[in-house]
Amino acid sequence: MKLRCRERWLDLDHTVVMGVLNVTPDSFSDGGRWLDENAAVAHAAEMIQQGAGALDVGGESTRPGAAPVPEDEELHRVLPVVERLAEQFDVPISIDTRKLSVARRCVESGASIINDTLGEAAVRGMDEVASDTGAAIIVMHSRGSPETMTTLTEYADVVAEVAGFLRARAGDLERAGVAHESIVLDPGFGFAKTPIQNLEILKALDTILEIGYPVLVGTSRKSFIGKILDLPTEQRLEATGATVAWGVMKGAHIVRVHDVEPIVRVVRMIEAIHNPSAFSALG
């Protein structure tokens, strides 16, 4: 399987590890660390060296309770970074945003994937940005905004409702002219879901995969891990690795993570167990 990202194709035969690059002062895990442009580019280079096959750049925190960022400020944070990454590195660059103009400007500046975090608030304009530019688009399930999502966790059947939304959203994108091979589905772990609901979606990830598009798992350092294990953000690596391993075993095509090097090792080991013949040269 391959993902079409404008003029390039991203090979998904092996799970792609997508490195998170937050150029924000307030992201839940690494806010402020990569706000400086040079620091962001240096961290991107480090993640690529560690095995990241794609990078996801975000200029507005989507953590629960985060306040919205004005469009001009978000552009100020992300555009210079996207431009430099596209010039210097040969991996697809994703822009993580809820704003149409930010998505379009970043694709015009070198990004080739739109990580659309609008969820159920999705607007037709984002479909048109993807269709017009040929960018791949990740469609994520969420409800409300970062300020309201924790109050919107009532579902009759969380797996069925998330899968239904993603199926319908992908259909809307194709009707808007986005190629089937340019669409990725993200169940939205941590977005308008309780810890138990996140576990239920992970357990039933097959339901999302059966829709027929590549699937992204984004569980890295999420608060549901912290609540289940009573751990602060900086101590969630092993549990993140467990959720990633489960996702890869189920068939996830992309995993979005902060800790690239250890997660690449987890992913490759799971793949080796799943397909030992691919490593037959090892004896």
Q: Where in the sequence numbering do the catalytic residues fall?
A: 222, 256
- Report how far residue 100's alpha carbon sits from residue 65's, in angstroms, rounded to the nearest whole number: 22
Beta-carbon neighbour count of residue 37 at 10 Å?
A: 15
DSSP letter assigned to residue 181: G
Which amino acid would we find at residue 10?
Answer: L
- Report how far residue 184's alpha carbon sits from residue 4's, in angstroms, rounded to the nearest whole number: 10
Contact yes or no for 3/181 (Cβ under 8 A): yes
Q: Which residues contact 45 (CB under 8 A, 6 or more apart)?
A: 88, 89
Beta-carbon neighbour count of residue 67 at 10 Å?
A: 10
Contact yes or no for 63/192 (Cβ under 8 A): no
- To the nearest 10 degrees (0 to 180), the angle between helices 124-133 and 100-108 is 10
CA–chain centroid gap for 193, Å, is 17
Contact yes or no for 138/116 (Cβ under 8 A): yes
